[in-house]
Amino acid sequence: NILVYGKILRLRGLGSMTIGQLVNLCVNDSERLYIAIQTCGFAIQGPLMIGAILGYSVHLVGWPALLGFSTFVVFYCVMVAVSHYQAAFRRRAIKVTDVRVRTMNEILTFVKLIKMYAWERPFSAYVGDVRSLEKVQLRNSAYMQAITSSLVLVVPSVATVVTLAARTLTGGSL
């Protein structure tokens, strides 16, 4: 939060940015920063652990361990592709959220005028349509995240089955 607050203070002025857009920007930035801090340790220790585990697995099981490792590589390549789709859906959702927040800000600013001319229904319908579009984008992003999360849980089991099946089919003992 301190970094986001510092970013707000560095802005010379809001310019064409509304308060709602600024809040949306801060929320998204703080979420991405939190995820980056969480995963930073894995990026550092991951290659070392992969090398050690792969070496030990090849020592214990033989070359079928390489098939299990290649299973991990293939699944993680699929997960990277799914993550790119998820990011695209998230970017679209952020754009739609900005439109909705800007519209709500305008409605709240001019609420007396809207009430005076009885424009509540058209504005309500417009905000509802934008919110529906936003929900579709967020739902698609959530589906992609669910696929990625479920693959993370399935990959070790599939890799184990592949390794043990290859070891058994080549005549090795378990």
Helices 64-109, 120-169: crossing angle, 10 deg rounding: 170
Residue 49 CB coordination number (10 Å): 10
- Residue-level pLDDT at 43: 82
pLDDT of residue 32: 78
pLDDT of residue 102: 86
131 to 20, 31, 108, 136, 138: CA distances (angstroms):
15, 21, 17, 9, 10
- pTM of the full structure: 0.61
- Res 71: pLDDT: 93
Report the pLDDT value the prediction gives residue 86, as an integer from 0 to 100: 87
Residues 6 or more apart whose Cβ sits within 8 Å of residue 164: 64, 174
Q: Which residues contact 2 (CB under 8 A, 6 or more apart)?
A: none
Average pLDDT per 10 consecutive residues for the chain, totaling 174 residues: 67 65 72 81 86 92 92 91 88 88 88 89 92 92 88 91 92 78
